[in-house]
């Protein structure tokens, strides 16, 4: 019987092509707009840290003076730390894995003939623990040795893309190349799979959704020696004269992030107690002169929300897209009423020949479901175009339709169309067949 209803539905669609197309487009526009915004929202809400989310913690300090009560974010903490604080935290010799991070730009020289030097590969200074904390997968080699974090050496870890750009498709571990000024030589300790979590939760100061990840990671122990200016946000609570990189190192400007790995509640409590003692020590030294010196840690999920990776505007846009879908469905109801009213004669004849109201109702719901299915397919095409526009507009690769959203869009389209078709179908199956038989 279902196959017969499908044949009738297809015949009815072909008999009224203009109305059918309008109904399909009404549903498609609503599905396309809503799925575009839902897909983008889902991508932004993704926590790429997975099961490490509750273990990794960003460290914050109320590092400002002049009796200021707050500075930075709404809770009085800046998102970043000063170099002095990062240096102190690194030298605290705690047992927890930790790493500072800041981004730098570099010039890299390829060893392939005819390839010009490039500054397209950004780098980040980190400690060795970075790679285990953030689960960086290696193709060849591995991180530099632990001793390099204390005694700097010109060793780096580079991405697969950068390795192929410099050396071609070979194992580049142990090879050297020129970087930074195009002359200084660095040795490759390891090559990793291209690492670019979305959002880039480990360092949100240079963009939430970068199109490409870092090309090179260098030991943080080289920072003072290489004197490489940071990219991204640099801010301070007081004006300071900065004439060179060494002035930034000594200043109270914040420009680095610091992460630590705390595997359980006892470790979190211990680290909070350490921060409490640290800020008191710095206050006694005259650095933290505000009335409420304090430290804080935030896990990945909290950090993403704290930095408003998903802004309120995105939530509003999702709501508006769903309202637009509702408007489209209301329009579809009117179009379905017009379409079905033209078929009331046929329904009356079938009723007179013995078809029940339930059979008439089911037949028209199958037709509505078919229209909804076609509307969902066209809506997915429109959503794909919309997401392509979002990627081009914001310079990110995150907004894509995955399989779950594809299936969800079709189910939403079917459900919405079936709900939309209930009223028109009821109007048809409840009509008085005698009126239409007289008309025949």
What's the pLDDT band for 20 if we cut at 50, 70, 90? confident
What's the pLDDT band for 354 if we cut at 50, 70, 90? low
For residue 33, the model assigns a pLDDT of 86
For residue 130, the model assigns a pLDDT of 97
* Strand partners of residue 101: 257
Return the H-helix or E-strand segment holding 235: none
Residue 58 tokens read as: 């960003």
What's the Cα-to-Cα distance from 172 to each of 138, 169, 186, 229, rounded to whole Å?
12, 9, 12, 27
DSSP state of 135: T
Note the pLDDT tens digit of each residue in 57-67.
999 998 776 66
Average per-residue pLDDT for the chain: 84
Per-residue pLDDT at 55 exceeds 90: yes
Which position has the higher pLDDT, 14 or 203? 203
Per-residue pLDDT at 238 exceeds 90: no
Show me where the domains of the chain are located. 2-47+311-439, 63-293
- Residue 338: left (phi > 0), alpha (psi -120 to 50), or beta? alpha
Cβ pair 329, 30 in contact under 8 A: yes
Per-residue pLDDT at 141 exceeds 80: yes
Return the H-helix or E-strand segment holding 283: helix 265-284
For residue 346, the model assigns a pLDDT of 67
What's the pLDDT band for 414 if we cut at 50, 70, 90? confident
Q: 400 burial class (0-12, 13-18, 19+ CB within 10 angstroms)?
A: middle
What's the pLDDT band for 271 if we cut at 50, 70, 90? very high
For residue 221, the model assigns a pLDDT of 96
What's the pLDDT band for 81 if we cut at 50, 70, 90? very high
For residue 342, the model assigns a pLDDT of 65
Burial 98-110 (b: 16+ CB within 10 A, else e): bbbbbbbebbbbb
């Amino acid at each position: 019987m279902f196959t017969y209803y499908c044949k009738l539905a297809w015949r009815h669609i072909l008999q009224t092509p203009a109305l059918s197309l309008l109904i399909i487009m009404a549903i498609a526009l609503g599905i396309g707009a809503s799925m575009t915004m839902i897909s983008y929202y889902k991508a932004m809400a993704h926590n790429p840290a997975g099961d490490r989310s509750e273990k990794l913690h960003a460290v914050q300090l109320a590092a400002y003076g002049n009796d200021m009560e707050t500075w930075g974010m709404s809770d009085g903490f800046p998102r970043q730390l000063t170099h002095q604080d990062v240096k102190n935290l690194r030298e605290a010799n705690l047992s927890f894995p930790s790493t500072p991070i800041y981004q730098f730009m570099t010039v890299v020289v390829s060893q392939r003939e005819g390839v010009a030097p490039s500054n397209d590969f950004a780098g980040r200074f980190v400690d060795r623990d970075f790679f285990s904390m953030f689960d960086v997968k290696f193709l060849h080699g591995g991180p530099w040795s632990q001793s390099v974090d204390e005694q700097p050496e010109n060793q780096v870890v580079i991405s697969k893309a950068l390795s192929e750009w410099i050396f071609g498709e070979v194992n580049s571990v142990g090879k050297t190349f020129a970087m930074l000024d195009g002359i200084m030589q660095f040795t490759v300790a390891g090559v990793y799979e291209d690492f670019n979590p979305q959002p880039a939760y480990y360092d949100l100061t240079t963009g939430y959704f970068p199109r490409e990840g870092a090309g090179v990671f260098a030991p943080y122990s080289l920072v003072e020696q290489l004197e490489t200016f940071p990219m991204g946000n640099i801010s301070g609570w007081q004006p300071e004269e900065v004439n060179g990189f060494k002035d930034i190192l000594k200043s109270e400007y914040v420009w680095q992030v610091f992460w630590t790995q705390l595997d359980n509640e006892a470790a979190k409590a211990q680290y909070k107690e350490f921060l409490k003692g640290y800020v008191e020590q710095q206050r006694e030294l005259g650095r933290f002169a505000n009335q409420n010196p304090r430290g804080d840690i935030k896990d990945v999920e909290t950090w993403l929300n704290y930095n408003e990776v998903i802004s309120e505007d995105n939530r509003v846009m999702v709501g508006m897209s769903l309202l637009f879908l509702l408007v489209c469905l209301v329009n579809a109801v009117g179009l379905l009423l017009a379409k079905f009213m033209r078929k009331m004669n046929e329904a009356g004849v079938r009723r007179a020949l013995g078809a029940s109201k339930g059979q008439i109702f089911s037949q028209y719901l199958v037709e509505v479901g078919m229209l909804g299915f076609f509307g969902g397919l066209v809506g997915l095409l429109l959503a794909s175009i919309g997401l392509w526009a979002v990627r081009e507009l914001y310079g990110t690769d995150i907004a894509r339709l995955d399989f779950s959203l594809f299936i969800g869009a079709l189910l939403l389209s079917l459900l919405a169309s079936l709900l939309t078709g209930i009223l028109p179908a009821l109007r048809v199956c409840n009509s008085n067949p005698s009126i239409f038989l007289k008309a025949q």
